[in-house]
Amino acid sequence: MAERNLHIEPKITLLGAGPGDPDLLTLKGVKALQTANVVLYDALTNEALLSHAPTNAIKVYVGKRSGEHSFGQDAINKLMVDYALNYGHVVRLKGGDPFVFGRGYEELDFADSYNIPVSVIPGISSSIGVPGLQQIPVTHRGLSESFWVITGTVSSGAISDDIYQAAKSNATVIILMGLKKLPEIVEVFKTEGRYNLPAAVIQNGSSDDERLVIGKVDTILGLAIKEKIEAPALLIFGEVVSLHPSFKALIKSYVAIS
- What is the model's pLDDT at position 256? 46
Task: Give yes or no: 31 in active site.
Answer: no
Which listed residue (11, 78, 162, 177) is catalytic? 177
What DSSP element (H or E) covers 118?
Answer: strand 118-121
Give me the sheet containing 211-216, strands edge to edge: 147-151, 172-176, 233-237, 198-203, 211-216
Q: Are 84 and 111 in contact, with CB atoms under 8 Å apart?
A: yes
Give 95-105 pLDDT, tens digit per residue. 999 999 999 99
One DSSP character per residue, 214-242 reads EEETTTHHHHHHHTT--SSEEEEESGGGG
- What is the model's pLDDT at position 68? 52
| CB atoms closer than 10 angstroms to residue 109 | 11
Instruction: Give dist(CA 110, CA 113) in Å, integer.
Output: 5
Instruction: Report which DSSP code applies to 2.
Output: P
Task: Give yes or no: 74 in active site.
Answer: no
Instruction: Give dist(CA 175, CA 233) in Å, integer.
Output: 9
Identify the CA nearest to 29 among candidates 95, 77, 109.
95
Domains of the chain: 11-121 (3.40.1010.10), 126-257 (3.30.950.10)
Give 122-181 pLDDT, tens digit per residue. 999 999 999 999 999 999 999 999 999 999 999 899 999 999 999 999 999 999 999 999
Instruction: Give dist(CA 151, CA 190) in Å, integer.
Output: 19
- What is the model's pLDDT at position 61? 95
- What is the model's pLDDT at position 7? 76
| % of the chain at pLDDT higher than 70 | 91
Instruction: Give dist(CA 160, CA 173) in Å, integer.
Output: 12
Over range 69-94, report the average pLDDT: 93
For residue 157, the one-letter residue type is: G
**pLDDT over threshold 70, residue 199:** yes
Instruction: Report which DSSP code applies to 96.
Output: B
Task: Give yes or no: 168 in active site.
Answer: no
**9-13, 18-22, 41-45, 115-119: which has the minimum mean pLDDT?**
41-45
Q: Is 61 strand, coil or helix?
A: strand
Is this model's pTM higher than 0.85 or not? yes
Question: CA-CA-CA-CA torsion for 33, 39, 45, 51, nearest 10 degrees?
Answer: 50
**pLDDT over threshold 80, residue 214:** yes
Over range 193-220, report the average pLDDT: 97
> pLDDT grade, residue 2 (50/70/90)?
low
For residue 251, the one-letter residue type is: I
What DSSP element (H or E) covers 107?
Answer: helix 104-112
* Average pLDDT, rounded, for the chain: 93
Q: Which residue has the higher pLDDT, 63 or 90?
A: 90
Which listed residue (11, 59, 64, 78) is catalytic? 64
**pLDDT over threshold 90, residue 253:** no
